[in-house]
Amino acid sequence: MRNYDALGAAAATGAVATVWLLRHALYQKICQVFSKSESASGPACPAKVQGLAGLIGNTPLVRIASLSEATGCEILAKAEFLNPGGSVKDRVALHIIRDAFAQGLLQEGGLITEGTAGSTGVSLAMLAHAYGCRCHIAMPDDAAEEKGRMLEALGATVQRMRPVSITNPDHFVNVARRRAAQEPNSIFADQFENLANFRAHLQTGRELWQQCSRHLDGFVCGAGTGGTIAGISTFLKQQCPSVQVFLIDPPGSGLYNKVVRGVMYTQQEAEGKRLKNPCDTITEGIGINRQTSNFSKARIDGAFQGTDREAVEMAAYLLRNDGLFVGSSAAMNCVGAVKLARNLGRGHIIATILCDGGQRHLSRFYNLDYLKAHNLLPASTGNSLDFVT
């Protein structure tokens, strides 16, 4: 509980945490620039990078010591929170904007719109400046408050919408699509269906494969748009078909049943228990009840279901044992890594993604009052993983 008490103070210094994150990302890039070593698969990092876009990607691969020692497997994670925008979505935003410019769909001075719960919007808003464009984000009004604040700080116009079904014209994604259609030189980023998302993560997979020295037994992560697991799984399977790729799916999402049984189904929908969130979970950025174009590209061998309790306990565990302060989807990914380690057995190498840091989740996932109201206060102590079932 002491770790979570400390997060109350962190909420008051969110700006400081953000500045630290950006400075640390720059430090990592500088370290890479001055590294002269070359791998057999490609050249060393260039002497300099070109602007903001050059800082995106080539994130470090970190060994999570506590999980590795507890499972008997090497648990590795791509530290995507070290991208300049603080999340894995920087990669997607960059590819979407570059593709739009290359196809003549967008020019300097144009407008980029998106419907998003946060991280993709942050990345688009940041990169829009680098390309001389404007950004408009429609988002659900139940998303973490700090994400909306960051979007506004980055100069995006933010439109908060009541969460409704994707079939409703007033769903935040549909609102963003209409906004782009209202003026020339505008694009709707469409991260769920735009295959630039998938293509961006072919590079993520390439980096991971090289950082593992071409030796990897399993990969696991959650899916929202599906771009991350699709791109990474496709690249890994091209290099080594025996790599086991697993999905970790949160409560209320239908992807687990889609992978395991071939049918997009979740019991919460059938019983009419749906909360106002896209899925009945406090994790953000993963879980969905429709198949996207990006997810259709994924090459997945199996799936696990995770719980909110497991994600909250894992976040506290990583902070307590490794000093890693991760977001809700990253915590769920680590739950998946433990489940896959148990599935494969000791001695295997397993990788996952740390999508973003915990500073974007202070108002919900790391809010003691919120967790208490949902009966999710972390209770585990020490280095036991008994909370992962």
Residues annotated as catalytic (active site), given as ranges: 89
Q: Which two tokens stand for residue 303?
A: 């799936």
Note the helical H segments in the chain: 2-12, 14-33, 65-71, 89-102, 119-130, 145-153, 172-181, 196-211, 227-239, 255-261, 267-270, 308-322, 328-344, 368-373
Rounded CA separation 247/139 (Å): 26
Rounded CA separation 211/74 (Å): 13
Host H or E run for residue 158 = strand 157-161
Cβ neighbour number for residue 374 with a 10 Å cutoff: 13
Candidates 117, 139, 114, 140; CA nearest to 127 is 114
Helix (H, G, I), strand (E, B) or coil at 124: helix
Contact 354, 80 (CB under 8 A): yes
Rounded CA separation 303/245 (Å): 8
Longest dimension (CA), the chain: 58
Q: Hey, which residues does 76 pair with through a beta bridge?
A: 63, 351
Rounded CA separation 94/91 (Å): 5
Rounded CA separation 49/66 (Å): 34
Contact 139, 121 (CB under 8 A): yes
Beta strands in 46-145, from DSSP E residues, in sequence order: 61-63, 74-79, 111-115, 134-140
Candidates 183, 184, 149, 164; CA nearest to 174 is 164
Radius of gyration of the chain from its Cα atoms, rounded to whole angstroms: 20
Those residues whose C-beta lies under 8 Å from the C-beta of residue 371, and which sit 6 or more positions away, are 312, 365, 377, 378
